Structure 1
Amino acid sequence: MQQFEFEDHGRSKHITIFANLPEATMGSSYNAVISVRGGTAPYQFSIVSGTLPSGLSLNSATGTISGTPLASGTYSFAVIATDAAGTSSRERGFTVAVAEAAIRTSISISPANARVYSDSTQQFTAKVINTDKPGVTWTASAGSISNTGLFTAPPVTAQSKVIVTAIMVADPTKTASASVTVNSNPSGFDGPAELPRVYLQSTMADTPTPGNVINVNAGDSLQTALNNASCGDTILLQAGATFTGSFTLPAKPCDDQHWIVIRTSAPDSSLPPEGTRMTPCYAGVASLPGRPAFQCSTTQKLLAQIVYKGTAGNGPLTFAWGANHYRFLGLGITRLAGTGFIGDLVSVKSGGTADRIVIDRVWLHGTAHDETGRGVGLNNTTNVSVVDSYLNDFHCTSVTGSCVDSQAVQGGGGIDPGGPYKIVNNFLEAAAESVLFGGGPAAGTPADIEIRGNHFFKPLQWMPGTPGFVGGTDGRPFIAKNNFELKNAQRVLFEGNILEFSWGGFSQAGYSIVLSPKNQTWGTTNVCPICQVTDVTIRNSIISHTGAGIQIATVLSDAGGIALEGARYSIHDITLDDIRAKSYNGSGPLVLALNTWTANPLNSVTINHITAI
């Protein structure tokens, strides 16, 4: 800093200004004060020539120079002070030098917090800036971590904490750490049933998108955005806008660190937080007849709508062969009313497979009277999570309809065995089965299926004879079956679910849950001799308002076929409420076990702690 006085030019010599202005640094906060001696307060300060560094300003009442310099260099300026009597000081010249910002290297780690199970893995990434040596070394306080940041949790029998640390190669004194909560592995056995060996991780942190943001406004081409997106990009669909058509999710060379997220443009703060179920409230719908109340906190139209306008087939979303690493968030996925039977709203193109899909906080629905076969078709998929979403109005019309079976989520068939799957914290509504695995030809059996915390539901107004009855477009009833059925699945954990309303008719006896490995008959041919239902745990769930409770059956198919196996079931801590054969046209048993196989009959079943009210 330099300071100097200009010639008096007749101004009073009784007011003097002075300051010690330190050197500034570009990008760093700066604060200094010009002081006054003599005269009468208050004073007014002003710059009469020269300029302050860009980003700094002079407070005319206090003489404070403050701010954050935006550019380096040497800046000279002159200041005068005027007192209350109007007497001014001599001009005093000052110089402030602004130095270039020091290059500061830094390191960060993502995710900063994680939860994993014993012996499972979690990928971490580190970001190093302002150095030409961006490499890091990894350490973990327990378990192990690879040189690419893949952490493997230690085996634990109780919850424990692990610290994962990334160390900057360029400056080993600089580190970044993440806290990992390791829970005891739910894998193992519940009674005779083996639990899933794999549990999918589906948080936002598990699907990183470090790439670009692609904005798609009303009237723009969604398909063009899908085609042009790179792995790691986020596609923002205008909140409240509608995108009508049939859209294909292309196959791209993505990986676990580069997902493609397709989401509403509404900010996260306006949506239900992770782990909270989406409702139609966020599409501006305050209630649906016959469904549980939503308790809306908002009815703003925050979802972007994707709508199928076809008159047949599947849509609006189809995964191309090999499509992978897609996440959907804050969307409404549906079809136009009055356009006939539609199959799957979300599915894989016939003949191919898709991998690593997350459907998160989505409203996925048919229409009140039309036939919509299913919401999510899981056949020929692997590593799929359906979480925190609302699925409703999937139904087929009796006698005159184009389909006979409907589901919110269906899998267990196709050219790929499938799994693991995660179906957690959803509202699941369908006239036939809200969730079904099996029921057709299959190349194998899907495994490691987690179904927890869902609300399985049928509106009572779909049951013939009830007030306000709702049926198909011609008034005929929908084909009603069960809430949850397995015909081909293994290592299934069904826990903490609520199941409401199931009634008999259309060859069914009103059961809520059916476990029945089936060598399904198509025409006169048995098409799945390899199908099995094995290692199933059903626990801590509530069944209400049905014609019967749980059916466990290894029975012949219509053409006399025997499936591969039905064994190792653990069913416990179940409450059955309002199980009434007469009211719900059912057969009445709380639990029924039945076998008609002549070989390899039903075996290894434990049932305990069943409460009927």
Structure 2
Amino acid sequence: MISGTDGAHAATITVAAGGDFQAALNTAQAGDTIVLEAGASYIGPFTLPAKPASTDYITIQSSAVAQLPAGTRVSPANAALMPKLLSPGNNQPALYTAPFSHHYKLIGIEFAPLNASVYVREIIRLGDGSLAQNTLEMVPRDLIFDRCYIHAHPTQDTIRGIALNSAETSIINSYISEFHSKGFDAQAIWGWNGPGPFKIINNYLEASGENLGFGGAVPGVVGLIPSDIEIRRNTLSKPLSWRTEGWMIKNLFELKAAQRVVMEGNILENCWANAQAGYAIQLTVRNEEGAASWNTIQDVTIKNNIIRRVGGGINFLGRDGNNYPSGQMSGVRIENNLFEDVSGVKWGGNGNFLQMTTVANVTVDHNTVIHSGPNAAIINAYAATSNAGPNAGFIFKNNIVENNAYGIFGGGIGVGNAAIAVYFPGGVFLKNVMVATPSTIYPVDNFYPALLSEVQFVNSVGGDYRLAPSSPYKRRGTDGKDPGCDFVALYAALPDGVPNPAPSPSPSPT
């Protein structure tokens, strides 16, 4: 029913429990608001239809939206304030978009499978990931999901919360959880056939395979690379209880094709060796099936993040490793991050900070890295048939790292300056604090304390890795600042200004 109007094209359409939500979607015009009853269930699938051109949004919101404060991340505890849009199973999503659809805003909605027994791969399908979506004009655009709770069930094999194959889409202040599989990659959010821009801001993202990522399939739009991606103030996590539940674990964040990406102010936590080696972040260029030779990764900034309880830091693969031609990864900046409890012993893997091959123009600056493992390295550089070139334009400065077993290692070469000459020719290594690293075979103008305790953190046992006033490395960076992470800048970028504790395992959905 239409319960009131605010103008010629601003009606409010209320759909009570048991009402016809699809009819309301079909009837709504730009500027209208559809109100769904909090606590009521609406069984889909529902389609966001194409409408005439307009810059005004059709808003779909909970009747209790006033109790979900704007700018605040929701959680499962807010579910009673939300209407439920449910997938009926039979591999049908709860919600999907029609080609050419645009300008929809969803606020305070819960999305889930009907129950734990139904079969569904994706709960929300934005755009079409198949070759049928083959022009930019037909790609759905201008979509906003705000304060939504999107989940599967604790025992359910479901591979994706949101398939993000759209343009101009924001996912903000939401909670996406329980996406896991024992036989397939599962993701909270993944996109490959949408151009962007994308804003993924202030969400909790939980999945067994990759919590968040882009690329990995042949796009229907020739030449398409997911672009202009903003990832800020999110928590990307895997519950530690999953270590014994048999789900297939890979990484926390992965790019296979992307450009102009900013990842800042996030917490990435809990990733162990399983189907991959436990690296928190995978930046690996892929020309899927040899049909996307334009794929590359370029202009990526990873800044002011906390990465913790993982088997490795970042794995770079500069070109496709399956002998398919691709673009070369270039222009990656890793800056002012805390990598804590990167452990090959506790989390499997090897405890490397970086692993890389054939990447151009990478800068690694002002990171604090607490990592360990019997085979761990600061950087493990290697060559392969399709990645035989060096890592040109490499800059490594102002970091605090530990040598562990191999320091800077080059496959087939060894460690130290010899490895740098082959794998990082012309590279810049300045003002790093490299603990237990033999200074005689490494670049000058770095610092080589014998023990981590000699760095003199404020309270490393308590997780405070600021340099103490007595540290000999105070203000010894290339910029006159302390080496390692600037924790004032780091905490200012996080959602609450301080590191959040790991969330408890997701509660059973209602």
Q: TM-score range by the shorter chain?
A: 0.5 to 0.7
> Which whole-Å CA distance do the structure 2 matches of 1:593 and 1:395 have between them?
28
SS of aligned partner of 1:504: coil
> Which whole-Å CA distance do the structure 2 matches of 1:282 and 1:445 have between them?
36
> Which whole-Å CA distance do the structure 2 matches of 1:498 and 1:574 have between them?
10
Residue 336 of structure 1: how far off its partner (Å)? 2.4
Write out per-residue CA displacement over residues 501-526 of structure 1, whole angstroms, 9 at most, x where no aligned residue: 001122x11000111111234xxxx2
> Which whole-Å CA distance do the structure 1 matches of 2:64 and 2:347 have between them?
43
SS of aligned partner of 2:81: coil
Residue 610 of structure 1: how far off its partner (Å)? 4.3
Match of 2:176 in 1: 391
Residue 557 of structure 1: how far off its partner (Å)? 3.2
Q: 1:561 to 1:330 in 2, by over 3 A?
A: same
Q: Indicate which of 279, 287, 297 corresponds to 1:533.
A: 297
Match of 2:33 in 1: 234
Larger strand fraction of residues: 1
SS of aligned partner of 2:294: coil
Match of 1:315 in 2: 93
SS of aligned partner of 1:518: coil
> Which whole-Å CA distance do the structure 1 matches of 2:151 and 2:262 have between them?
26
Residue 385 of structure 1: how far off its partner (Å)? 0.4
Task: Kindly indicate whether the alpha-carbon contact (under 8 Å) linking 2:319 and 2:387 is maintained by their aligned counterparts in 1.
Answer: no
SS of aligned partner of 2:211: strand
> Which whole-Å CA distance do the structure 2 matches of 1:378 and 1:553 have between them?
24
Q: Indicate which of 357, 364, 384 corresponds to 2:150.
A: 364
SS of aligned partner of 1:582: helix
> Which whole-Å CA distance do the structure 2 matches of 1:357 and 1:242 have between them?
22
SS of aligned partner of 2:10: coil
> Which whole-Å CA distance do the structure 1 matches of 2:396 and 2:260 have between them?
17
Residue 370 of structure 1: how far off its partner (Å)? 1.2
Q: 1:590 to 1:599 in 2, by over 3 A?
A: closer
> Which whole-Å CA distance do the structure 2 matches of 1:547 and 1:463 have between them?
13
Write out per-residue CA displacement over residues 249-286 of structure 1, whole angstroms, 9 at most, x where no aligned residue: 10001422x21011101142x11x22211111111xxx
> Which whole-Å CA distance do the structure 2 matches of 1:609 and 1:278 have between them?
37
Q: 1:341 to 1:231 in 2, by over 3 A?
A: same
Residue 346 of structure 1: how far off its partner (Å)? 1.2
Residue type at the aligned position of 1:393: E
SS of aligned partner of 1:338: coil
Task: Kindly indicate whether the alpha-carbon contact (under 8 Å) linking 1:566 and 1:602 is maintained by their aligned counterparts in 2.
Answer: no
> Which whole-Å CA distance do the structure 2 matches of 1:225 and 1:428 have between them?
30
* 1:590 aligned onto 2:353: yes
Q: Indicate which of 102, 105, 114 corresponds to 1:336.
A: 114
Q: 1:604 to 1:394 in 2, by over 3 A?
A: farther
Write out per-residue CA displacement over residues 207-256 of structure 1, whole angstroms, 9 at most, x where no aligned residue: x9961000000010111111111111000001111111211110001422
TM-score norm. by structure 1 comes to: 0.56
Residue 611 of structure 1: how far off its partner (Å)? 4.8
Residue 556 of structure 1: how far off its partner (Å)? 4.0
Task: Kindly indicate whether the alpha-carbon contact (under 8 Å) linking 2:88 and 2:118 is maintained by their aligned counterparts in 1.
Answer: no
* 1:281 aligned onto 2:77: yes
Q: 1:593 to 1:229 in 2, by over 3 A?
A: same
Residue type at the aligned position of 1:332: E
* 1:264 aligned onto 2:62: yes
> Which whole-Å CA distance do the structure 2 matches of 1:452 and 1:325 have between them?
23
Write out per-residue CA displacement over residues 151-173 of structure 1, whole angstroms, 9 at most, x where no aligned residue: xxxxxxxxxxxxxxxxxxxxxxx
> Which whole-Å CA distance do the structure 2 matches of 1:509 and 1:239 have between them?
43
> Which whole-Å CA distance do the structure 2 matches of 1:457 and 1:598 have between them?
31
Task: State, as a whole percentage, how many aligned pairs show the same letter.
Answer: 35
Task: Kindly indicate whether the alpha-carbon contact (under 8 Å) linking 1:382 and 1:421 is maintained by their aligned counterparts in 2.
Answer: yes
Q: 1:238 to 1:563 in 2, by over 3 A?
A: same
* 1:577 aligned onto 2:376: no
Matches within 5 A, 1:103-114: none
> Which whole-Å CA distance do the structure 1 matches of 2:395 and 2:188 have between them?
29
Write out per-residue CA displacement over residues 328-352 of structure 1, whole angstroms, 9 at most, x where no aligned residue: 1001011123335422211124534
> Which whole-Å CA distance do the structure 1 matches of 2:120 and 2:109 have between them?
19
* 1:221 aligned onto 2:20: yes
Unaligned runs of 5+ residues in structure 1 are 1-128, 130-207, 284-300, 399-403, 465-470, 472-476
Task: Kindly indicate whether the alpha-carbon contact (under 8 Å) linking 2:65 and 2:108 is maintained by their aligned counterparts in 1.
Answer: no
Match of 1:422 in 2: 199
SS of aligned partner of 2:104: strand
SS of aligned partner of 1:368: coil
> Which whole-Å CA distance do the structure 1 matches of 2:62 and 2:396 have between them?
45
> Which whole-Å CA distance do the structure 1 matches of 2:149 and 2:181 have between them?
20
Q: 1:593 to 1:223 in 2, by over 3 A?
A: same
Pairs aligned (count): 360
> Which whole-Å CA distance do the structure 2 matches of 1:542 and 1:433 have between them?
17
Q: 1:608 to 1:409 in 2, by over 3 A?
A: farther
> Which whole-Å CA distance do the structure 2 matches of 1:605 and 1:447 have between them?
24
Residue type at the aligned position of 2:78: Y
Residue 609 of structure 1: how far off its partner (Å)? 4.6
* 1:326 aligned onto 2:112: no
Q: Larger radius of gyration, structure 1 or 2? A: 1
Unaligned runs of 5+ residues in structure 2 are 1-5, 134-138, 359-383, 402-459, 461-510
> Which whole-Å CA distance do the structure 1 matches of 2:124 and 2:101 have between them?
13
> Which whole-Å CA distance do the structure 2 matches of 1:488 and 1:586 have between them?
24
